[in-house]
Amino acid sequence: MKQEEYLHSLLHPASNDVRELEKYAKEHNVPIMEPLGIEFLMQLLRVHRPNNILEIGAAIGYSALRMVEALPESQIVTVERDEKRYEEAKQNIRLFGKEKQIHLLAGDALHIKEQIEAYGPFDFLFIDAAKGKYEDFFHLYSPLVSEHGIIVSDNVLFKGYVADPSKAPERLEKMVSKIIKFNQLLNEHPDYNTTIVPIGDGVAITTRKS
């Protein structure tokens, strides 16, 4: 699409280290944010300037490292349940020299709330883990977000299947259905305002109602 190509042409070149991470992710099928999505997230952080960030879903540490790039003084707690990905994230955070800013926790975010809660409250919550569990993550961790904090959820349009579920492969139908349900929850929640931005794979921005 011409518009997307144009936006990609405006992106600032990433550092060699970041490009290596992106290359590794592509070669090993590691899900990371799309270029326009991560740029949007970084700009959102620059505007909001949160001090304490919680990320659900570290993968190989890519988005946490990009968030610190946007806000070098911020503190990030990021959680990863997959042992291999956790070790890769740990190594990448060390290679980038960001161990003081990024606190990597091993485990399923649905099971280690007490451990995560010790680092809170948070000014910014980024949900980018198992898509079928987004609603659970939201219910569990939104109370840890400060009054004027922001909650961002990635992949909420999921390759266009959310807008047209009939085109989703059978193996993805259940997950797509859960994302649709999650989007509906955000849209109708009495305590929150949500806007879905059709950039990257779809980014939901949620704030508390005043």
| Model pLDDT for residues 12-61, shown as the tens digit of each residue | 888 899 999 999 999 999 989 988 999 999 999 999 999 999 999 999 99
Confidence band for 4, pLDDT divided at 50, 70 and 90: confident
> Average pLDDT, whole number, for the chain?
94
First-residue to last-residue Cα distance in the chain: 38
* Residue 118 pLDDT class (50, 70, 90 cuts): very high
Other CB atoms within 10 Å distance of the CB of residue 145: 22
Residues in the chain: 210
Q: Cα-Cα-Cα-Cα dihedral of 192, 202, 155, 61, to 10°? A: -100
pLDDT exceeds 90 at position 209: yes
User: Mean per-residue pLDDT for 67-91?
Assistant: 96
> Residue 191, annotated ligand binder?
no
Q: CA 52, CA 198: separation in Å to the nearest integer? A: 26
What does the pLDDT read at residue 5? Answer: 87
Q: How far apart are CA 17 and CA 23, in angstroms?
A: 10
Residue 119 reports pLDDT greater than 80 = yes
Question: Is 154 flagged in the annotation as binding?
Answer: yes
Is 109 assigned to a binding site?
Answer: yes
Closest to 17 measured CA to CA, from 64, 57, 65, 71: 65
| Residue the block writes with tokens 């070149």 | 13
CB 130 within 8 A of CB 51: no
- Residue 193 is labelled as binding a ligand: no
Q: How far apart are CA 189 and CA 210, in angstroms?
A: 13
Task: Tell the residue number behind the tokens 């570290």, with chain if given.
Answer: 58
The answer for residues whose C-beta is within 8 angstroms of residue 62's C-beta and 6 or more apart is 21, 22, 25, 30, 32, 33, 38, 92
177 marked as part of a ligand binding site: no
Q: What pLDDT, on the 0 to 100 scale, is given for residue 9?
A: 86
Q: Is 128 a known ligand-binding residue?
A: yes
Angle (deg, nearest 10), helices 173-188 and 134-141: 30
Instruction: Take residue 66 and report the two structure tokens written for it.
Output: 């990009």
Q: Is the pLDDT of residue 192 over 90?
A: yes
- Cα of 86 vs its chain's centroid, Å: 16
Higher pLDDT, 13 or 179: 179
Residue 7 above 90 pLDDT? no
Token digits for 114? 């007490």
Strands (E), 60-121: 75-80, 102-106
Residue 17 annotated as part of some ligand binding site: no
Domains of the chain: 2-208 (3.40.50.150)
Average confidence (pLDDT) over 113-126:
96
The percent of residues above 70 in pLDDT, for the chain, comes to 100
Is the pLDDT confidence value at 1 over 80?
no
What is residue 146's predicted lDDT score, i.e. its pLDDT?
A: 95
**Alpha carbons within 13 A on the beta-carbon side of 102:** 32
